[in-house]
Amino acid sequence: MKFRNWFLLILMFLATGINAQIKNPVKFKFTINELGDNQYEAVLNATMESGWHIYSKDIPEDTGIPTDYKVSGKNIELIGKFTETGKKHEEFSEAFGGKIIFYSNSAGFKQKFKLKDPTKPGDVVAEITYQTCDDRVCLAPNTLEFNKQVTPKGTVETKAEEKTEAKKDSVLITETVVEDPVKNIVTVTETSKLDPKQLKIESIDFQKPLTDCGTAATKVAENYWTYLFLGFIGGLIALLTPCVFPMIPLTVSFFTKGSMNKAKGKRDAFIYGFFILLIFVLLSVPFHIIDGIAGNIFNEISTSVWLNIAFFIIFIFFAGSFFGYYDITLPSSIANKSSKAEEAGGIIGIFFMALTLVIVSFSCTGPILGSLLGSAVTGSANVPMLLTFALAGFGLAWAIIFGLLALFPQALQSLPKSGGWMNTVKVVLGFVELALALKFLSKADLVSKTFLLKRELFIVIWILVALGLALYLLGLIRFPHDDKKPKISITRKILGALGFGFVIYLIQGLIPSDRPKLQLLSGILPPLNVSYFHDEKDGILGMHPEHDFFKAVELAKKEDKPILIDFTGYGCENCRKMEEFVWSESDILPILQNDVVLASLYVDDKEELPEDQKTKIDLGDGQVKKVKTIGDRWSLFQQVNFNNNSQPHYVLVTPDGKVINTPVSGYMPKEDFKKFLECGVNYYKKNK
């Protein structure tokens, strides 16, 4: 895949949360036309909602996802390649840096074929892969399948027969189409046992639970002010780097002393600070523009093994820059153009002064912003808005400092002088980047199920990073831009001692224990059972949850217990926090161990389903969606039955599939989770 496509995927990953509303703006109709002389035409017509379009198969390389249409089947021989019909549109895309070719409103795709044996029917299977966009979002690429039978004249039409299969642990099902949150989903209307291919469970109605006790449905709170604060702290730290700090007195002095009218100078300084804030806020706009992708698709992207490895490499690269081995800079032409634009004078000139500051300081601010964006992505579903608040906080820190110093220029004299301490700040940030990089590598390890990066190994690496930081602060390690004989200040000595204290804190995590430790790192460390002292197959906290809902149902029937459905993910930090610091509590764990059957369903599991469990979803109008992986199954299972695709999400159901009390989502206080559990369990015991 080209670099630009990787970049777009990363951008889409950063900009989209997993709770986005499901969109389906394109409808397809599949027909087969007879052309005569044993020739036929498989035609797939697409109609798009106003404002939406799909790309042509002839779109230039690296400018989008071309539409691909394939036809195959029994007794089928293709004639030539597929063709497109409809009015083509061509536009230059600034995002792709090239021409794009697309269809809006409607388009057609045709493939000619003939029957190998004209005396026998042919089964035609058409598959289309396409991407849908409008002027603000692009939906992730989608693949649909269509099926029809061709019956030549003079032959007896064969109709699909309903087959009855008697299998162990399964029964005959009758498939119908019903309305539900993911459009028309194949459902079971007659069952005495559950089919492993089943997605929609008729008995489940989360809107009408058996009781209204317990905690009402909760949503993960979007603490925008927290991210504003984190951004503000990041901005203050960036001000202390050698790329920015020396520019503070120069810039403020320019406004307050470079003008005969000091009042005007101060006013211009405030405008300058406002433009800095505005520029950082504008950096978040692209993430809003491409927001709106289907939640389950971006759950897959966010837990992609290769993308997480890419982020790991990027953060290592950031660390090397902070250590002083190289600089990360934007092309000099950008800074030169911005600098020349300053000559325009007035408000426009001030704007470009602010823009120049942001550009030339990128080598120091880029890695800090990258870490901030990564934190926002993993912290919430509503990523674009959190990024706006985080970037606003970052710019606000700069704006306040420049504004206050312009108002009180005498305070410039109290600022510390530029010196080696600024490089110390950069190197410390480099160690922080190294530690954060390991988080992405761990997520890739968990999703791929390699489980090579054990919890203890993760902790050992963090211990080495913390030791390196402490030794650096005490002057025992030097980097390229450090003084040959650095003066170790009291502040550095105190911070170095704190570094050794953090090492002591981490060491306790290496001691075998069934109880969680290192609460400060909850959600960052690998799970408790990914350990040298525990096998990942041994479960967690002494429990062995089922990872298949249908097996959990059978077990619940035998043990006469309710089922706690735990929609979780390998890359879900809040899920790990709930397991380690809520589930493990002495008044919660016994309930989970003794009173329920725990079904932990991983929505980001990339393992392919066995062939006999792969299935297809009927979206109506002959459209079919394939369910290939374990994660596909449980992600769609959650959406179809509970109209929710956030994790963690907890549901208590009876063995016959009835929702007991209102489901809950997200990380929550122990008291709320306990109330939810006791409500459902007590109701079941009284009414079973």
Tens-place pLDDT, residues 467-487:
999 999 998 988 887 877 777
pLDDT tens sequence across 424-453 = 888 888 898 898 888 888 878 877 778 788
What does the pLDDT average to over 574-602? Answer: 88
Backbone angles phi, psi at 523, to 5 degrees: 90, -15
| pLDDT at site 424 | 86
Tell me the domain boundaries of the chain: 16-160, 224-418, 451-536, 539-687
CB distance 259 to 272 below 8 Å: no
- Cα distances (Å, whole numbers) of residue 643 to 145, 191, 490: 24, 23, 57
Give the highest mean pLDDT range of 180-194, 370-384, 558-572: 558-572
CATH number of 539-687: 3.40.30.10
CATH superfamily of 16-160: Thiol:disulfide interchange protein DsbD, N-terminal domain (2.60.40.1250)
d(CA 460, CA 507): 8
What does the pLDDT average to over 540-561? Answer: 88
Query: Looking at the predicted structure, is the pLDDT value of residue 334 above 70?
Result: no
pLDDT tens sequence across 165-207 = 333 332 222 233 333 334 434 333 333 344 555 677 888 888 8
Hey, what are 575's tokens? 């899920």
Sign of CA dihedral 660, 662, 668, 673: negative
Of 230 and 2, the one with more pLDDT: 230
d(CA 688, CA 686): 6
| pLDDT at site 222 | 47
d(CA 113, CA 579): 56
| pLDDT at site 344 | 52
pLDDT tens sequence across 257-271 = 544 466 776 777 788
| Buried b / exposed e along 90-129 (16+ C-beta atoms within 10 A) | eeeeeeeeeebbbbbeebebbbbbbbeeeeebbebbbbbe
What does the pLDDT average to over 582-605? Answer: 89
| pLDDT at site 640 | 83
| pLDDT at site 502 | 92
pLDDT tens sequence across 41-100 = 999 999 988 878 888 888 875 556 688 899 999 889 999 999 999 888 887 654 444 577
Mean of the per-residue pLDDT values of the chain = 75
Query: Looking at the predicted structure, is the pLDDT value of residue 120 above 80?
Result: yes
In which residue are the tokens 């036309």 written? 33
Query: Looking at the predicted structure, is the pLDDT value of residue 563 above 70?
Result: yes
| pLDDT at site 192 | 34
How is 137-206 classified by DSSP, letter by letter? Answer: -BPPPEEEEEEEEE--TTSPPPPPPP-----TT-----EEEE--BTBSEEEESS-SS--TT--B-TT--T
Helix or strand holding residue 29 (H, E)? strand 26-36
Hey, what are 493's tokens? 């000595």
Query: Looking at the predicted structure, is the pLDDT value of residue 462 above 90?
Result: yes
Weakest mean pLDDT among 374-388, 420-434, 544-558: 374-388
Query: Looking at the predicted structure, is the pLDDT value of residue 616 above 80?
Result: no
